[in-house]
Amino acid sequence: MADKPILVEKFNEKLDLDGKMREGGILAKVYLEVQGNDLEAAKKALENTIFNKLGAEENVNLLEVKMYDILKEEGDHFSGVSEIHLVADDFRHFITTILRYGPSAVEITEPEEVTLNTEQMHNIVADVSDFTHMFSQQIISMLKDPERRALLEKVMSEK
């Protein structure tokens, strides 16, 4: 990650953050990465994910986005990262956001502790189970394609 961000944008500056936290909010920093062999496509994908998808999540409020330059790595490979400060309405919505966007790193800033009742725990476990099932079905579906299966076998044999 470069030292200085190329873009810093603040959001929801009038949000009652203290009120959100009293109501069970989760304040965090998440880091989203992008990798690809096309600089412009990687940049657009990262921007779209943050500003159009994550920014539109119903139970998550973006507070600040720091985008760092997408750098050329070995060969024709590009890699970049963004640091996103956000607040989720509660632990359940925080977990589903993490599952949906798969950040490379997560730092929960507040609260120090979370207390969950049985119903809340059940809902979180059900959400995790749903995501796991969905991902499994996507992988199984992809492996039915002979071309993709051959590619996976090639990649796995190289390890």
Question: Rounded to an integer, what distance in angstroms lies between the CA atom of residue 110 and that of residue 87?
Answer: 9
User: Smallest Cα–Cα separation from 25: which of 91, 124, 96?
Assistant: 91
- Same domain assignment for residues 103 and 156: no
Question: Rounded to an integer, what distance in angstroms lies between the CA atom of residue 106 and that of residue 93?
Answer: 14
Model confidence pLDDT, tens digit, residues 79-96:
999 999 999 999 999 999
- Same domain assignment for residues 47 and 110: yes
User: Smallest Cα–Cα separation from 72: which of 27, 124, 37, 116?
Assistant: 37
- Same domain assignment for residues 62 and 20: yes
- Same domain assignment for residues 26 and 69: yes
DSSP state of 152: H
Q: pTM value?
A: 0.87
User: Smallest Cα–Cα separation from 55: which of 29, 86, 81, 28?
Assistant: 86
> How much of the chain, in percent, has pLDDT values that exceed 90?
82
- Same domain assignment for residues 26 and 84: yes
Structural domain for 4, as ranges: 1-114
Q: CA distances (Å), 21 to each of 24, 109, 124, in order?
A: 5, 11, 19
Average pLDDT, the chain: 94
- Same domain assignment for residues 73 and 136: no
> In the numeric block, which tokens belong to residue 94?
């925080």
Higher pLDDT, 159 or 125: 125
